[in-house]
Chain A
Amino acid sequence: DIQMTQSPSSLSASVGDRVTITCRASQSITDYLNWYQQKPGKAPKLLIYGASSLQSGVPSRFSGSGSGTDFTLTISSLQPEDSATYYCQQSVTSWTFGRGTKVEVK
């Protein structure tokens, strides 16, 4: 199975900060990489698909990049409503998720 490793596992940042979350795949997944946001007690929400395509309706402060094994999710200017856990997920085979990154907004 393809393993997905996210880092950091948690972070705390201030409103307006630039935040970067990384995701590494155990083998190349080209750009078959998606990012989700999950708030407590809620279902996940798709943010980015295909490594860098912004899902309709998602604020433009979210962006994704990378290919092969290394990927990043960037929040360009952190907002209070961005407090959540973020997951990467590969869709090559046996669709595995990373363990998540919990983002706290100070």
Chain B
Amino acid sequence: EVQLVESGGGLVQPGGSLRLSCAASGFTFSSYWMSWVRQAPGRGLEWVANIKQDGSAKYYADSVKGRFTISRDNVKNSLYLQMNILRGEDTAVYYCASLDYGSCSGGDCYYFDYWGQGTLVSVSS
């Protein structure tokens, strides 16, 4: 059974830092792109970042670029999100998700396949 378990959330002051972790099991972690997606309280979903299987490619939403860093450890089957210079608008439940792909007209098309249960990050003074 695929499991993604996030941890590391909590209350942090504006300008502070936090590191989220996601422990993966039940699938070959090193074979999949991975992502972070967040959801502010009562709001919709927002993609945050993607990382390639070997960590050689990383992509970020403009809203977090330069402040957040996605990384992974394929030995520990873990995904991370280092969040710096946190702002109130970063308050959200953060989900880790695995990416899979199917066949689309223009080639491979990716989708968020498995999701964790989420970890809440609250940024407030």
Contacts and interface: CB of A to CB of B under 8 A. Distances in A.
- Interface secondary structure of B, over-half rule: strand
Interface of A: 1, 30-32, 34, 36, 38, 42-46, 49-51, 53, 67, 87, 89, 91, 94-100
A67 B105 CA distance: 10
Contact of B109 (A32, A42, A94, A99): A32
Nearest to B110: A91
B33 to A, nearest CB: 11
A44 B112 contact: yes
Contact of A31 (B62, B105, B112, B115): B105
Interface residues of B, number: 24
B62 A50 contact: no
A58 B18 CA distance: 36
Given A94-B47, A97-B47, A31 B109 contact: yes
Contacts of B26: none
Contacts of A34: 111-112
Given A30-B105, A87-B44, A100-B44, A94 B112 contact: no
Given A1-B62, A43-B95, A49-B111, A95 B102 contact: no
Interface string B99-111: 0001111100111
Given A89-B45, A100-B44, 10 more contacts: A1-B62, A30-B104, A36-B45, A44-B45, A44-B95, A45-B115, A46-B112, A50-B111, A87-B44, A97-B46
B102 A50 contact: yes
Contacts of A49: 102, 109, 111
A44 B110 contact: no
Given A1-B62, A100-B44, A44 B109 contact: no
B116 A98 contact: no
Nearest to A44: B115
A36 B112 contact: yes
Contacts of A31: 104-106, 109
Nearest to A51: B104
